[in-house]
Amino acid sequence: MEEADLGEVRSIEHPWGTEEVFADVAGRLVGKVLHVRGGAHLVVQIHVDGEEVISLMSGAVLLELGDDPTTLRSIRMVPGQTVHIQAGTVHRISAIEDSMLLEVSSAAHDFRDS
């Protein structure tokens, strides 16, 4: 049996808040905790090859989704809700209030900011 490799959580500051990377399994998956300040939003993005699962732990966010950045539909998320964002889906998260989200994504995904 192999020993477990212990790592450290990486904290990255962004204009919208803080991203804590707690898992980075090369070529397979990335796990993050996102702390988004109320009134802030992440950039509109699309993952060409990868997928994400996002769960809202606290706060309230507006999730915008669609096939095209000009026609996104809005969904209000509350704590306990989870969404699976498939490859090719345009999306953005805006925090209605200070919010904490868990995100797990395929590590090999390419993404583009719109």
106 touches 54 (CB < 8 A): no
For residue 29, which of 113, 107, 88 has the smallest C-alpha distance?
A: 107
Considering only CA atoms, give the Rg of the chain.
Answer: 14
Q: Note the pLDDT tens digit of each residue in 73-84.
A: 999 999 999 999
Q: How far apart are CA 81 and CA 91, in angstroms?
A: 16
Which residue ranges form the domains of the chain, and what is each CATH number? 11-113 (2.60.120.10)
Q: Decide if 47 contacts 85 (C-beta within 8 A).
A: yes
pTM: 0.86
pLDDT digits (tens, 9 = 90+) for 4-55: 777 899 999 999 999 999 998 887 889 999 999 999 999 999 888 889 999 9
Asked if residue 77 lies in contact with residue 60, where contact means CB atoms within 8 angstroms, the answer is: yes
